[in-house]
Structure 1
Amino acid sequence: MNLVRSELLKIRTTSTWWIFGLIMLPLWGLTLLINWLQTEALASGGFEDVPAEQAEQLDAVASADSLAANLYTNAQFFGLLIVMLLGIIVVTSEFFHQTVTTTFLTAPHRTAVMVAKLVAAAVLAMLFWLVTTVLNVLVGALILTSVDVGTQFGSGAIWQAIGLNALAYLLWSVLGVGLGVLIRSQIGATVTGILLYLGGSIGAVAVLGILASRYGEWINQLQVAVPSLASSLMVSGEDIPGNPARWVGAAVLIGYAVVAGTIGALTLRRRDIS
């Protein structure tokens, strides 16, 4: 517990967390605007010319639960990126400021230090999730009411989506810590994390789309293997025809987090610190 308090103190005494918070605010607003326009378009209907094979998917996306889940988990894409970067910085800042030797002399049990960093990163991730969720629920309810969909607070699927969103924030903080252990350089780990997150999302959609057009729509099922796409699947509100179930996305992301945390702990225990 003392180690966790120490890690949280390190975070509180630096400007990193609130700088990321300031970065997150306009990204949240931009995403909200896009989702607002999308909600109005989907709620208004008028998609009679959609091909039959896509009509079922569109109906699922335009359902009340899916519209509400999308708004109540607004800005997940950027939020997960932010908490991953914070997880990276929780570790790499020790190497950047050359305080890691002092840390391990004070607490020689490296596994305990790794666990403390994971907990500290998780606490920070939950703080970001809580703030964005409160804003999402307040503003999202107004948007849903304005398009005559209703708040959907009585739907279990909505609270499940919000809960799974919290799990996604938690797991991405673990992934960030794991990456920070593997790549000591703060700049190197940050750039690598951004490239893997953004490049993985955009690149996977493009490549799998090309393969699906050639070999069949079943190829799109493989999108769930991409962590960022698995995260978005978790908060879809209801299962979308042609896509894996939401629990599959959660299972994939948990698997990545367990692997990243385990490799990070083993690496930190064995790597020489100078």
Structure 2
Amino acid sequence: MIVQFTSELRKFTSTRTWWLMLLGMVLYSAGFTAFLSYAPFLTSRSPVDLTTPESAVIAYNIAPAIAYVFPLAVGVIVTTHEYRYRTISQTLLAEPHRPTVFAAKLLAGFCTAFVFGAASVGACVLVVVGVLSSQGQDTHLFSPVILTAIAGSVAVLTLWGLVGVGVGALIRNQTVAVVGLVVLTQFVEPMARTALAGVGPQWLTLVFPGIAGDVAAGGTAYNAMTGTAVASQGSGFLVLAVYALVFSVLGSLRFSRYEVA
């Protein structure tokens, strides 16, 4: 298992894709965080309020709100790059025990997503602290609310990596899988979430994985705009963990049926 896990990490991290995606996620998260953090100081009519730990959470939690597609795509690539470059046959011939191979891919996706999550959340923290400190404001960094949100954000982004590995095993075409996920997470789900935000009991919207991730992270700007942060962090983690488990199991079943050509 250790040998297979090491091999999976080497396959992915030896390419430029890993580094470019990591840089893109960090810059994307940091850029939006800087914009949101400066908003209260740019105009007196800004709806953004960062004066309390509870309100400042939305600035610290930009990464899980908008950049979760990156670890999701990373998880997909961990699996689909083997099909794209036709190396899956050699991998399975070298290690015929399919569960071991897929478990190594899950672990590789988990570890890689954790690195992505920690790096992007860390960048957001540095930006918020830098902006608030430069304006003479309290950063609330050591508040239990903020510390819990930071830890939750990293955990959420890590779980998205597991979801991606499962999706990659189910949809073997890398382009279709990645583009499909981008469309679903960045366009379809946000529109559906907005449309359903005022319809029926708000807890029902927790079935959306994006909302579950927002809640598990301790609340995001999207929750603040739509008023969907009505559940506990534990509930959000549970829903997102179920998504990760279901896609991992389904992906494992499909992976075990791959025929070596």
Question: Under TM normalisation by the shorter chain, which class is it?
Answer: 0.7 to 0.9
User: 1:91 deviation in Å?
Assistant: 0.5
| Contact residue 65 and residue 237 of structure 1 kept, 8 A | no
Q: Closer, same or farther in 2 for the Cα pair 1:64/1:237, shift >3 Å?
A: farther
Q: Counterpart of 2:251 in structure 1: which amino acid?
A: G
The answer to whether the aligner puts 1:271 opposite 2:258 as a matched pair is: yes
Q: Which moved more, 1:67-76 or 1:125-134?
A: 67-76
Q: Determine which structure has more spread, i.e. the larger CA radius of gyration.
A: 1
| Contact residue 68 and residue 144 of structure 1 kept, 8 A | no
| Contact residue 63 and residue 153 of structure 2 kept, 8 A | no
Give the counterpart of 1:223 among 198, 205, 217.
205
User: 1:21 deviation in Å?
Assistant: 2.4
| Contact residue 66 and residue 236 of structure 1 kept, 8 A | no
1:100-150 CA-to-partner distances (Å, cap 9, x unmatched) read 000001111111111111111111111112222322222211223345541
| Contact residue 29 and residue 124 of structure 2 kept, 8 A | no
The corresponding residue for 2:19 is 18
The corresponding residue for 2:182 is 194
The answer to whether the aligner puts 1:79 opposite 2:67 as a matched pair is: yes
Q: Counterpart of 1:167 in structure 2: which amino acid?
A: A
| Contact residue 81 and residue 194 of structure 1 kept, 8 A | yes
Q: Counterpart of 2:31 in structure 1: which amino acid?
A: L
Matched position secondary structure for 1:198: helix
Q: Counterpart of 1:196 in structure 2: which amino acid?
A: L
TM-score (norm 1): 0.82
The corresponding residue for 2:77 is 89
User: 1:188 deviation in Å?
Assistant: 1.1
Q: Counterpart of 1:102 in structure 2: which amino acid?
A: Q
Q: Counterpart of 1:12 in structure 2: which amino acid?
A: T
TM-score (norm 2): 0.86
Give the counterpart of 1:203 among 188, 191, 199.
191
The corresponding residue for 1:154 is 142
Q: For residues 75 and 166 of structure 1, what CA distance do their matches in structure 2 show?
A: 9
The corresponding residue for 1:258 is 245
The answer to whether the aligner puts 1:246 opposite 2:233 as a matched pair is: yes
Structure 1 residue ranges (4+ consecutive) displaced by more than 4 angstroms after TM superposition: 38-42, 44-47, 146-149, 237-242
| Contact residue 75 and residue 109 of structure 2 kept, 8 A | yes
| Contact residue 141 and residue 151 of structure 1 kept, 8 A | yes
Aligned residues with identical type, % of pairs: 28
| Contact residue 84 and residue 173 of structure 2 kept, 8 A | yes
| Contact residue 8 and residue 105 of structure 2 kept, 8 A | yes
Q: Closer, same or farther in 2 for the Cα pair 1:16/1:237, shift >3 Å?
A: same
| Contact residue 168 and residue 231 of structure 1 kept, 8 A | yes
Matched position secondary structure for 1:98: coil
The corresponding residue for 1:236 is 218
Structure 2: unaligned runs, 5 residues or longer: none
Structure 1: unaligned runs, 5 residues or longer: 48-57
Q: Closer, same or farther in 2 for the Cα pair 1:118/1:46, shift >3 Å?
A: closer
Q: RMSD of aligned C-alpha atoms?
A: 2.7
Q: State how many pairs are aligned.
A: 255
